[in-house]
Amino acid sequence: MKQLARHLMQSTDITFDNFGETGTLFTELLRARYHHFIETRGWDLPNTRGLEFDQYDTPESIYCTVHEGLDVYGGFRVTPTTAHCVNASYMLRDAQLGLLPNLPLSILDEPAPQDPAVWEVSRVFVSDSLSSHNRMRVRKELGESFARLARTWNINAFLCLTSVTAALLTRRSGLQISPAGPRFEAGGETCQAYHLIVNSGGSQSQVA
């Protein structure tokens, strides 16, 4: 199991505006996503040259990665629910509209929001190469990253699509999660959409 040095682990937010400083790290994030979702989980996702990406990886998304140097141990993507690129908006809404055949139309209990203060969370992962203790450290760092993003980008609410197993583990990192839709099978895992509540210094960011 990989051991992390506490003083070297850091969390970095990646945007298309700071690619001059984070471009190489972004490539390693896509490489880590390929390993986690395609090689390890066996998901059928778009990829090339060992990098995983899809139609939602656009300048409207922001990425958070927990890493030591260029070794990526966890991350996620957030996309505003107002996003629009060619024929895509964001994953949960496009699924509800029937544009993603591998996801159910009933993925959300309510109509998918289109609100600049509501953002979708996707591609959440923590490396399986870490010890259980270090995986918890990474989850805690990711939880703190949600709170930081909420403050920085004026995000009042999150919707998250993830596996039920990952959701249960996320609760241990200090985040509050409640179902936003029914469970379904995808990529050999039981998945579900969730409302995500972030406790940030006494205030909360949440899906209403």
Q: What is the pLDDT along the chain (208 residues), one digit of tens a residue?
A: 565 655 589 999 999 999 999 999 999 999 999 999 999 988 889 999 999 999 999 999 999 999 999 999 999 999 999 999 888 999 999 999 999 998 999 999 999 999 999 999 999 999 999 999 999 899 889 888 988 999 999 998 899 988 887 777 666 656 678 899 999 988 788 999 999 877 654 344 443 3
| pLDDT for 189 | 84
**154 φ/ψ sector (left φ>0, alpha ψ -120 to 50, else beta):** left
Residues 161/121, Cβ–Cβ less than 8 Å: yes
Closest CA to 108 of 94, 125, 122: 94
| pLDDT for 33 | 97
Query: What mean pLDDT, rounded, does the chain reach?
Result: 88
Give me the phi and psi of 21, to 5 degrees please. Answer: -100, -25
Residues 81/122, Cβ–Cβ less than 8 Å: no
Give 67: exposed, middle or buried? Use CB within 10 Å, 0-12, 13-18, 19+: buried
| pLDDT for 46 | 93
Return the axis-axis angle of helices 132-152 and 164-171, rounded to nearest 10°.
80
Give 132-153 pLDDT, tens digit per residue.
999 989 988 988 898 899 999 9
Give me the phi and psi of 171, to 5 degrees please. Answer: -60, -30
Residues 142/76, Cβ–Cβ less than 8 Å: yes
Give 181-203 pLDDT, tens digit per residue.
999 988 788 999 999 877 654 34
| pLDDT for 202 | 39
| pLDDT for 66 | 97
pTM of the model: 0.87
Residues 8/59, Cβ–Cβ less than 8 Å: no
Q: How many CB atoms lie within 10 A of CB 50?
A: 12
| pLDDT for 197 | 77
